[in-house]
Amino acid sequence: MPRLEPDYPAAPVARSELVYKDVPYRDDPLPAAQPDRHDPDDTDAIVAAAKALREGQGDRSAGKRCLIVDDSRVVRKLSRKIAEELGYRVAEAENGEEALARCRLAMPDLVITDWQMPVMSGVEFVARLRAIPGAGRAKVMFCTSKGEATDIHEGISAGADDYIVKPFNEAALKAKVERLIAG
């Protein structure tokens, strides 16, 4: 009897149909190729550079990563454009659960997240993100329609570094992101 193979779709229709755990998405850039062998004389320099990156002191411009978390495709597209203009490699997630799974695989340097999303809210996502070892160096900004002072306090208390209220224009979001990553 011939063996029957399951009929898998060539590509998922929506990200929500994906199993997030340990599965990179098709828009992820490939990791930079690592040389197989190093000159033994250069080991000290490589170790020093690796330690500097670990401590957040090295030059990460070639590998800056941004994760955009929003259930709105339009907001993700605009945020992606801005992050790419600032030199980031961008990945996207439609909800907090998907974003958390992506962060566990590779911690981004910058996260731009909505608050009101299906599956897991932005506040819950940020609080759970900050509980992951090493997540403290990621810059997190809420991009949401919740603009009351109590909402802003709750978002910052959850672990966000900045906050912008929708609707916004491209220049305002870009300025906020530039200030956030500058210091």
Q: Domain 63-182 carries which CATH code?
A: 3.40.50.2300
Cα gap 114→163, rounded to integer Å: 10
Average pLDDT, the chain: 77
What are the residues facing 5 on neighbouring strands?
none
Average pLDDT score over residue span 67-93: 92
pLDDT higher at 105 or 39: 105
Tell me the domain boundaries of the chain: 63-182
Interval 10-19 mean pLDDT? 43
CA distance 135 to 87: 20
Global confidence as pTM: 0.67
Strand-pair partners of 112 = 68, 141
Provide the pLDDT confidence category of residue 42 given band limits of 50, 70 and 90: low
Output the CA–CA distances (angstroms, integers) from residue 150 to 12, 20, 114, 165, in the order listed: 39, 32, 16, 13
Percent of the chain scoring above 90 in pLDDT: 43
